[in-house]
Amino acid sequence: MRRTIKFKILSGNILIVCVTGLIFSITSYMTAYKKVSEVSTNSLTYHVESVSNVYGIAYDEMRNILINCTEGNLFDLKRIGTLNSVDQKRAGIDYARLAEDFCAVAGYGKYISRMSVFNVSGVHVSAGTVLGSRDDMKWVLETDWFWEELKKDIEYYPLDLVESPFYRDDGGVLPFVCRISGGSIEDSWAAIFLSPKLYADELKKKDSGNEMLVVTYRGERVAAMYEDPADREENDALVAQVLSSEEYAGIFSKKVHGKECMVAWNQDMKSGIVTIEILDMELLKDDRMMLIQTVVVILLACTALGIMLSIFFSRMVRRPIERLVQHIGHIGEGDFQQDMELEREDEIGEIGRCINNMSGQIEQLMKKKVEDEKEKKNLELQMLQAQINPHFLYNTLDSIKWIAVIQKNSGIIKAVTALSKLLKNMAKGFNEKVTVREELDFVNDYITLEKLKYAEMFDVQVTVEEPALWEAKIIKLTLQPLVENAIFSGIEPKGKNGLICIRVLQETDCLQIVVWDNGIGIPKEKVKVLLTEDNNLRSDRMSSIGIANVNRRIQLVYGENYGLSVESRYNEYTKVSVTIPLEYGGEDNK
C-alpha cells in the first residue's frame, strides 16, 4: 500500500485526536457525573423517538397502499361476481395477483396478515401471509369492531388490536379499513390487517437492553421486550399513567419493579401507537476511583505518544522539502541535472518528479533554441551565397539594356528589365516582410522571364479575394519557389500547355495563399517527404530556395503551427497552400 504524506499525517492526527478525545470524554464524564441524568434522558428520548418513527413510517406505507386500493376503479368486484364464468374467474385471478403485488412492493409486506378488497355480499380478493378462506370477509362483517373502524378518519386512523378473524391465526391483528370510492353500486371496502410481529421485530432490531412496551391508544399490548410476566400488572398501571397524560411524548422518573428508573414514551399522532422504554438508573453507576486512575494513565500515555509522533512527522516532512528547495536553487543557477532521490512514493515525491521533468524539458528547449538559431543562420547564409556580386550584375544588365535600346530590341529590354528587378529583390534582406502586392510583382517578373523560354506553354491566373489582402504582409521569396516548382516539376514534365492559379484569401485570423497547377502531379510517396527533403532543386534554376526551405523559414519566423501543406493527385494537379498569421502595415521585420 502506498504510504503518502497525507495518509501518514492523517493517521497520526487521528490517533492523537482519538486518544485525546477519549481522555477528555472520560474526564468530562467524571467531572460532570452529576449531569448523567440529563445525558441519559436525551439518549433515552432519542431512542424511543427513533423506534416510534419507524412505526410511523410503516403506518404511512400501509395507509398509502390502502388509499391506492380504494381510489378509482382499480378493483371492480362486480367483474368477479360468483366466479361461475371464465371471465369472472380470470378477473378474480388478475385481482388476486394485483393484491399480491401490493403486498410485495410494500417494505413491510411480510407483516401484512391479509390485505382484502370485499363488498357487503362477501365477495372478496385477498393476499397476505396467513391462510384465508372464502368466509373470511363474512366473519369480518359480523364483528362489532368492523363498523367502528369505518367511522375513523383515513388521515388520522388510530389502530386497535383485535382478535384475528382468519383461519388458524390465533394472534391478534391491527385492522385498517376504508370504503372504496369510484361509483360502485354495492358497498365495498379495502382492509389491511397488520400483524403485531412488525412491532416486536423492530424492538429486536433496536434493542438497547432496556425493557420496552408497545401499546395502542386504548392500552392494548401490541409488543414487549424484556418484560417479566410477573410485572405485567405493574406495567399496565404504568401504561395507564402514560395514556392519562395529554402530551404525545415525555419522560419522568419513577420507581418501577422496586428500582429507580427513568420512563420515556412517544405516541404517534396518526396511529395512536405508544412506545414506552424503562431505563434502570442502577446501570449508570460505576467505580469512580477506578475511572480516575484509568484516566490519569491514559492522559500521560497520550501526552507522551503525541509528543513523539509530532517530532517524527515534523522530521519526515521537513527533510524532503529542504532537499526540494535546494534542488530548485540549483536549477535557478543553471544546473539542470536531475536528482532521482527526490522521486519518493508520496506527494512530495510527485513534486520532485515534476521538478525533474521540468528541468529536463528546460534543458531540451535551450538546446532546441540553439539549434533553431543555427539553422536560421544557415538559411541566411544560403541566401547570401546566392547573392553573387549583385552590383556587378546590375551594371552588366544595365549595359545590355542600353545596347538593346539602341538596337531597338524590345524582347531583350523586357527580359533584362525583369531579371534586373528579380536580382535587386533577391539581394535585399532574406527574411524581409513585404506586402502581397510586392510579392506578386516579384512573381510576375519571374514569370516574364520563364515565358520567354517556354513561350505560351503555361498561363498564370492571380485572384485576391479581398482588396485589403493586397496590403497583407508576407515573407519575401515565399511564392517564387512554389511557382518555379509548378513550372519545372508539374507543367514541363507533362509536355503540354498548363495553368497555374494563385489565390489569396483569409481563413479566420490567418492569411492563406494557394498555388495550384494542372501539371503531372506528385506521387503519394513523394508528397509525404516533400516538406522535409529538398530534392526538387536544379542547378539552372532562378532560386536556390526549395519548398522544404520555404516551409522551414515560415516555421522559424511564425512558429510550428504555420507553414506549407501539399495536396496532389498524380497526372491531374498539385496544390501547395501557404498559411501564415494575417498582419498589416508596420515596418519590415527581419
| Start-to-end Cα distance in the chain | 59
Name the DSSP letter for residue 218.
T
Query: Region 415-438: what's the mean pLDDT?
Result: 70
Q: What is the mean pLDDT of the chain?
A: 77
- Nearest alpha carbon to residue 488 among 519, 515, 462: 519
Q: What is the mean pLDDT of residues 415-435?
A: 67
- Is the pLDDT assigned to residue 517 strictly greater than 80? yes
Place of cell 503555361: 458
The one-letter amino acid code at 286 reads D
Quick one: how far is CA 340 from the chain centroid? 35
Task: Report DSSP state, residue 584.
Answer: B
Range(s) for CATH 3.30.565.10 in the chain?
428-581
The model's confidence at residue 182, banded by pLDDT at 50, 70 and 90, is low
Average pLDDT over residues 31-43: 69
State residue 144's pLDDT score: 86
C-alpha cell belonging to residue 399: 549595359
What is the reported pLDDT for 84?
A: 63
Q: Is the pLDDT of residue 386 over 60?
A: no
Classified as helix, coil or strand, 296 is helix
Tens of pLDDT, residue by residue over 265-295, are 999 988 899 999 998 877 766 544 555 666 6
pTM of the complete model beyond 0.85: no
CB 194 within 8 A of CB 62: yes
> 180: which DSSP letter?
P
Quick check: 392 pLDDT over 60? no
Distance CA 490, CA 503 (A): 18
Alpha carbon distances (Å) from 157 to 177, 223, 272, 573: 9, 19, 8, 91
Distance of alpha carbon 568 from alpha carbon 522, whole angstroms = 6
Q: Beta 498-507 vs 458-464: how paired, if at all? A: parallel
Q: Is 508 left (phi over 0), alpha (psi -120 to 50) or beta?
A: left
Three cell numbers, residue 494? 507533362
Phi, psi (deg, nearest 5) at residue 579: -125, 120
Residue that is written with C-alpha cell 494575417 in the block: 582
Residue 83 has pLDDT above 80, yes or no: no
Run of H or E including 85: none
Q: Residue 535 CA to chain centroid, in angstroms?
A: 52
**pLDDT for position 358:** 79
Res. 445: pLDDT tops 90: no
pLDDT greater than 60 at residue 311? yes
Q: How far is CA 108 from the centre of its chain?
A: 37
Q: What is the pLDDT of residues 48-59, one digit of tens each?
A: 999 999 988 888
Residue 465 has pLDDT above 50, yes or no: yes
Percentage above 70 pLDDT, the chain? 67
Q: Which numeric CATH code is attached to 428-581?
A: 3.30.565.10
Give the closest residue to 556 by CA, choosing from 475, 477, 454, 491: 475
Query: By mean pLDDT, which of 184-198, 323-337, 427-441, 492-506 is the weakest?
Result: 323-337
Cell numbers for 461, please give them.
491566373
Question: What mean pLDDT comes out for the span 450-460?
Answer: 80
Q: What is the pLDDT of residue 544?
A: 41
Read out DSSP for 303-314?
Answer: HHHHHHHHHHHH
Does the pLDDT of residue 141 top 80, yes or no? yes
Question: What share of the chain in percent tops pLDDT 90?
Answer: 22
Confirm if 264 and 211 have CB atoms less than 8 A apart: no
Average pLDDT over residues 151-179: 85
Mean pLDDT of 160-171: 82
- Compute CA 183 distance to the chain's CA centroid, rounded to the nearest angstrom: 52
Residue 490 has pLDDT above 80, yes or no: yes
Over range 255-273, report the average pLDDT: 90
Distance CA 193, CA 128 (A): 9
Q: Which residue has the higher pLDDT, 258 or 40?
A: 258
| Residues 98-131: tens digit of each pLDDT | 777 776 666 777 888 888 888 777 777 777 788 7
> Which letter does DSSP use for residue 340 in this model?
G
Q: Yes or no: say if 232 and 176 are a contact pair by the CB < 8 Å rule.
A: no
Mean pLDDT confidence for 496-520: 94
Half-sphere exposure of residue 372: CA atoms within 13 angstroms, side-chain side? 15
